Chain A
């Protein structure tokens, strides 16, 4: 039952990325629902699961552009691992804390991606990190907080278990 719930959640996030993200996008700035899958999986299941999920999801994204094969997988596994480490520790169930965590993770994800992508001319990525990655991270965090509340509600009311994060 739990696995089916997980699969449905992942599918919903994929659907949101395909349908909602392009509609709420402001130019290149858009929420990253696929990153939210990695974040939630890592928070729920820990660093190993997070790193593996990040790697697999990143690798599938990389298949769409073989020129960058391995880049999304690398960033996904690092972010999945890092979030899993945070999730393993107790942290306050505070909406502002979670918002800050989502912003930090999403920004870190994009920053690593842009650094590796522009390597060795990392100077060119600085502008994008602030102009695109930061507002995108805020949008992702807003979506993440909403999703977290929905997941927590489903968990407590329908699944009869504790909160997701």
Chain B
């Protein structure tokens, strides 16, 4: 039977080579078309992995190179303006410290931030968790707050020697006490969906308007005061008439976080490595530009 099939197929291929090839290709195409959708998807995904991944790797490398150059230029501009602002703020800081000492307030501290790279994400629908590449070996501890350039993103919930899990604020049961930057109204920020939050426990007579920035209030002592969390997008009176229904949106794109900063402690301003380092960098830049 097999021999007969082989013989017939050879004869067919010899006499009608063109149409046989076309027939095989049409049959192959149609069999792909009638495959169940999951099988089609998985087949396409597997082939894409083999075909596109090496190409993608090179493309990403090229894109990274270009974007790093652009980012470098942007960061240089940002550093220049921040350096100017820093000088002005140092003046304010000295004045503020002097006034705080006069009224016997606790001295302000500078934060020690440990940069960490995101190496994984949990896929749970209701709990957004990131895995970062720093752990107990890098002095990370449970409950430490975690930030991005745009503000607070969550806190450490589990630490292993070389990695840690960070629960993002866009998770159920992760309320953050916040204060309105403009009116100083205090409320509790709770996640609703995607990057949308609700500020609860705000009385109907309070002054909250769209566009206001919500900062961490520092209540509770875990998350320090004054870090941006979200921006108010909508304010209306709740149905009970006693409270405000305040919606806010985070400035952080939680889906594209690549590097974060874990606040590992506080140091006095004058002992901050960053400030000493910034001065050194500034001096090096000045010397380089004079050459």
* A81 on interface, CB distance cutoff 8 Å: yes
Contact of A69 among B18, B22, B40 (CB under 8 A): B40
On whether A70 and B33 interact (CB within 8 A), knowing A47-B18, A77-B22, A77-B26, the answer reads yes
CB distance from B50 to the nearest CB of A (A): 11
Interface residues of B in 90-123 (CB under 8 A from A): none
* A141 on interface, CB distance cutoff 8 Å: no
Q: How far is the CA of A47 from the CA of B19 in the complex (A)?
A: 9
Do the beta carbons of A51 and B40 come within 8 Å of each other? no
Do the beta carbons of A69 and B33 come within 8 Å of each other? yes
Q: Cβ of A73: which chain B residues have Cβ within 8 Å of it? A: 25, 28-29, 32
* A66 on interface, CB distance cutoff 8 Å: yes
Among the stretches B41-49, B62-70, B140-148, the one at the interface with A is B41-49
Q: Cβ of B30: which chain A residues have Cβ within 8 Å of it? A: 70, 74
Q: Which residue of B lies closest to A74 (CB)?
A: B29
* B21 on interface, CB distance cutoff 8 Å: yes
Contact of B22 among A66, A68, A81, A116 (CB under 8 A): A81
* B287 on interface, CB distance cutoff 8 Å: no
CB distance from A47 to the nearest CB of B (A): 5
From DSSP, what is the main secondary structure of chain B's interface residues? helix
Q: How far is the CA of A116 from the CA of B32 in the complex (A)?
A: 13
Do the beta carbons of B47 and A63 come within 8 Å of each other? yes
> How does the 8 Å CB contact mask read for A74-114 relative to B, with 1 for contact and 0 for none?
10011001001100000000000000000000000000000
* A133 on interface, CB distance cutoff 8 Å: no
Query: Which has the most chain A C-beta neighbours within 10 Å: B17, B41, B47, B52?
Result: B47
Q: Cβ of B242: which chain A residues have Cβ within 8 Å of it? A: none
Q: Cβ of A51: which chain B residues have Cβ within 8 Å of it? A: 18, 21-22, 25
Q: How far is the CA of A116 from the CA of B17 in the complex (A)?
A: 26
Do the beta carbons of A78 and B22 come within 8 Å of each other? yes
* B31 on interface, CB distance cutoff 8 Å: yes
Do the beta carbons of B29 and A63 come within 8 Å of each other? no
The bracket for how many chain B residues form the interface is: 20 to 34
Q: How far is the CA of A55 from the CA of B27 in the complex (A)?
A: 11
* A71 on interface, CB distance cutoff 8 Å: yes
* A67 on interface, CB distance cutoff 8 Å: yes
* A138 on interface, CB distance cutoff 8 Å: no
CB distance from A11 to the nearest CB of B (A): 13
Query: Which has the most chain B C-beta neighbours within 10 Å: A47, A67, A68, A74?
Result: A74
Q: Cβ of A62: which chain B residues have Cβ within 8 Å of it? A: 32, 44
Interface residues of A in 47-74 (CB under 8 A from B): 47-48, 51-52, 54-55, 58-60, 62-63, 66-71, 73-74
Do the beta carbons of B41 and A66 come within 8 Å of each other? yes
Q: How far is the CA of A77 from the CA of B52 in the complex (A)?
A: 23
Q: Which residue of B lies closest to A81 (CB)?
A: B22
CB distance from A46 to the nearest CB of B (A): 8
Do the beta carbons of B40 and A66 come within 8 Å of each other? yes
* B35 on interface, CB distance cutoff 8 Å: yes
CB distance from B190 to the nearest CB of A (A): 38
Q: How far is the CA of A71 from the CA of B33 in the complex (A)?
A: 7
Do the beta carbons of B21 and A48 come within 8 Å of each other? yes
Do the beta carbons of B40 and A81 come within 8 Å of each other? no
Instruction: List the interface of chain A (C-beta within 8 A of B).
Output: 47-48, 51-52, 54-55, 58-60, 62-63, 66-71, 73-74, 77-78, 81, 84-85, 116
Q: List 6 A-B contacts (CB under 8 A).
A: A55-B29, A66-B43, A70-B28, A70-B30, A77-B29, A81-B18
Instruction: List the interface of chain B (C-beta within 8 A of A).
Output: 17-18, 21-22, 25-26, 28-33, 35, 37, 40-41, 43-45, 47-48, 51-52
